[in-house]
Every structure is written in structure tokens, then in C-alpha cells.
Structure 1
Amino acid sequence: MRIDNTGIEDSIVDVKPLDHLLGKHAFIRGGQWDYERVTYDYRIDSKEKNVTYYIRIQGYAIEGDVDRGNAVIKLATPLLGKHYYPHGVEYGEGENFPKNLVERASKILAGVKEEIEQYKK
């Protein structure tokens, strides 16, 4: 599920401060990054058996390389996903997310947005 109108989408930030500030908010940069893209995930455990939720923030380099640490990243619209063990994460609009989970995700992203404002280019 896309979490629209967070103020994060289309933000442009250097990768090093982005790594730092998202780390402060418990987002982990995924191992699937490459020279051009980054993915940060925030894990939310669920009481449902074999289900975990994730807030995902993705971005791509508009200049520089992620691997070298000199990339300038443009962020995309954050996503809320549901991980089904062992199949993977689903971000589709057909997924049902509890209202309190969506509110929690929005609150977390609001905190991230405030800090991103300090580093925007």
C-alpha cells in the first residue's frame, strides 16, 4: 500500500545523512541496494501467526554511486507491506491493513519527514 502525502516522496538527500537519520528511526538499509538504488525497511511485528509488516522507503541515485557513499538520492512514495512467511512481502492495494497500523506508520513517517527537511538539497 502506498502511503501518500507524507512529504518524503521526491525529497533529495545525500546518502550518508540519509543512512544516519533513517537508522535513528530504526530503518535498516536492505542488502539489495546497488549503485543506483536504496531500500530502507522498518519492521513491525504482528500478533498474527507468520505475519510481519514493513514500512519501506525506496530511493534512487540522481548523481553519484550508492556504493561509494557519494550518491544524491531522490526518495519515492513510502510503502506499507505485509510479509507472509515463507512467500515474501506484498504491497498490493488488495491487502488489508489495520487502521491502527496505518496510523502508526504515518506517525513514524512524519518523524522521518521532519528530519529529512534538515538535509534536503
Structure 2
Amino acid sequence: MIQIQSELEGKHFELFKLEQLLKPLGYSVGGNWDYDHGAFDYKMDDEAGYQFLRLPFKAIDGQLDSKGCTVALQRPFLLSHNYQRGLDDHAEIGNASASFNQFQEPVDKDASFPKKYIEVGRALVHEVESILLPH
């Protein structure tokens, strides 16, 4: 994980407005959200695992699933997840439906981040700053 200092830290936004501004740029609300915190993720690449820019936030007024929730942005960071190739050692196989969970267990959830994407991540943070912060 590589943290990127940003003028976004501590700034308050309505979650709905953030979504309206960030989703068209390719950001999505990451899967690790709860009622009081979450993150917008931008998938930078999937060359060797997955490389993301993550914009974490915490609820300061309301819960994330409530209308009008206000959030405070926290320090953005870059992260990389490397997944094992082939079948997952812990795949879940259902009995009656014969369905299974095809998602791989990560080999290294905090994998090293490819250097060639660090500057790209910084540029993405500056882009978000220019969109969200008054000039």
C-alpha cells in the first residue's frame, strides 16, 4: 500500500454527489464498505493481479445507505492484489445446485505496487482534486 497525500483529506461531501462525479470517471464503491465507512476504487490495471487507487471515506452525518449521508474523505492510497492462478484451494462446491464460488483467494492482499503506476496514481488523485475542490 502506498499512501498519497492529498488536499482531499478531511473534506466533506454528500455521498450521492461524490458518486455522481466519480462514477463517470471510472470509480466504483469498493466491496469493503460498511454503514460508517467505505471507499471509491479506480482499477488502474490487472496486469499482475489488480492495481487500484482507493479513495477511502467515513460517514460523518448519517449512514452510508441513508439519503443525504455526508462523508469525509481520507488519505488516498494505491494497493495491489495478486491472485493465484488455477483453482482455488478453498473453492466452495454446492450440492443440489452444483454451483461454486469461482473467486480466487488472494496470494498477497498487500502485494508490492508496480512502480510504473505510482505516477499514474498521483495524476488520478490530482484529477479528482481538480474536480472536487474549488479553484
TM-score by length of 2: 0.73
Q: Which residue does the alignment assign to 1:62? A: 60
Partner deviation per Cα, 1:9-46 (whole Å, 9 max, x = no partner): 11111111111111122110124433211211111224
Q: Which residue does the alignment assign to 1:71? A: 69
In structure 2, which of residues 73, 97, 117 is the aligned counterpart of residue 101 of structure 1?
Answer: 117
Matched length: 113
Structure 2: stretches of 5+ with no match in the other structure: 84-103
Q: Which residue does the alignment assign to 1:8? A: 8
Report the 3-state secondary structure (helix = DSSP H, G, I; strand = E; otherwise coil) of the residue aligned with 2:130.
helix
Identity among equivalent pairs (%):
25
Amino acid at match of 1:99: K
Q: Which residue does the alignment assign to 2:95? A: none
Structure 1: stretches of 5+ with no match in the other structure: none
More RCO (CA 8 Å, sep 6+): 1
Aligned partners of 1:23 and 1:114: how far apart in 2? Answer: 15
Structural mapping, 1:1-121, within 5 Å = 1-48=1-48, 51-85=49-83, 86-88=104-106, 90-91=109-110, 95-118=111-134
Amino acid at match of 1:68: S
Aligned partners of 1:18 and 1:114: how far apart in 2? Answer: 13
Higher mean C-alpha deviation, range 76-85 or range 32-41: 32-41
* CA gap 1:41/1:35 in 2 versus in 1, 3 angstroms: same
TM-score by length of 1: 0.80
CA contact (8 A) 2:42 2:54 kept: yes
